[in-house]
Amino acid sequence: MRPAQFPEALAGARHRSRPVNADWHAGPCRALAAQFDGLTDPEALAARAEALLSGEHWVSTLLAPLIDALAADIWFEPGLRTSHDALRTGAVLLESEAISIAATVTRATTLNAAPTPTTLVIPGRLTLTRYVRGGDARMRRWRTDPATPDFTAAAAPPCVERSPLTLHDGMVLRHDGRTDGHLIVAADRDIVALAITIKPGAAPLMREYAVADGSFVRAACADEAASRMEMLLTFLRASRRPDAASGFETATRHPAFHLRWAAMREWLMLDARSARPRLAELARGDANQEVRTAATATLAALDRHLEPPCPA
């Protein structure tokens, strides 16, 4: 095929791929997701995920239509979200409100040549992982306390290292990312893994700790919905929408303390006078010490700014 024909071939393949992917999502994907329908409790979802991962036949059933399509058409584009770098190739096999299922291949040569990471992450979500090929990899593990509503960076408890594990073929492990983190630091062979991540009950924060001593380094939002809400609040503020004050007020009562403060910060930049009563409430009685401290300091600065100038 001449280079000039590539765009036409790709466009045709994309057109041919759509109905196949639509049937795949409506058929095997929906059937797999249905196994988790009606479950909202994280432990019940984890038990169902562990039972699913005890076997592998479902993976062949799930992927068979895509493999057949690829065999019939080398230009077929599977309806999968994929990622690829020097260390790892991954694909999201299923995404639903309750769970996500991903497959990854980690290259042992790249892993072994890489420097040991200086930090580890407590990701915030419960995950069940089947190491289809464990590669006799060495896994270091850490544990810390859960991030409660009164979590503060200054008082964050350290991570404590636990006994390491060697990953064997077929091993199914529960990684409670609300309190636990791990690093795979070496492997004899490539690692092939299937992971089911439980969405309900997730911690609001991802936390990062130093490998050397387990000390807290930083935190970031782990809640996709909260992140989207924060972006929307920023958009409303940048759009100069004072009529959206009720939305800002509602967001300042969100269970995630970092979102409460992010909403207040945006509201203050939009309309400080209308935000002041709620700011005072946060200063007096928010459940999180850092929010109370920030609100108290901001309230004092705001009141100085709002004071009418002295007639003298």
CA dist., res. 177 & res. 222, Å (int): 11
Q: Tell me the average pLDDT across 231-250.
A: 86
Q: For position 7, what pLDDT does the model report?
A: 62
User: Is the pLDDT confidence value at 115 over 70?
Assistant: yes
CA dist., res. 225 & res. 295, Å (int): 24
- pTM score of the predicted model: 0.79
Confidence band (pLDDT; 50, 70, 90) for 4?
A: very low
Confidence band (pLDDT; 50, 70, 90) for 183?
A: very high
Give tens-digit pLDDT for 39-77.
999 999 999 999 999 988 899 999 999 999 999 988 899
User: Is the pLDDT confidence value at 30 over 50?
Assistant: yes
CATH architecture for residues 9-221: Sandwich (2.60)
Give tens-digit pLDDT for 69-79.
999 988 899 98
Give tens-digit pLDDT for 121-145.
999 999 999 999 999 999 999 999 9
Query: How many C-beta atoms surround the C-beta of residue 256 within 10 A?
Result: 24
CA dist., res. 140 & res. 175, Å (int): 12
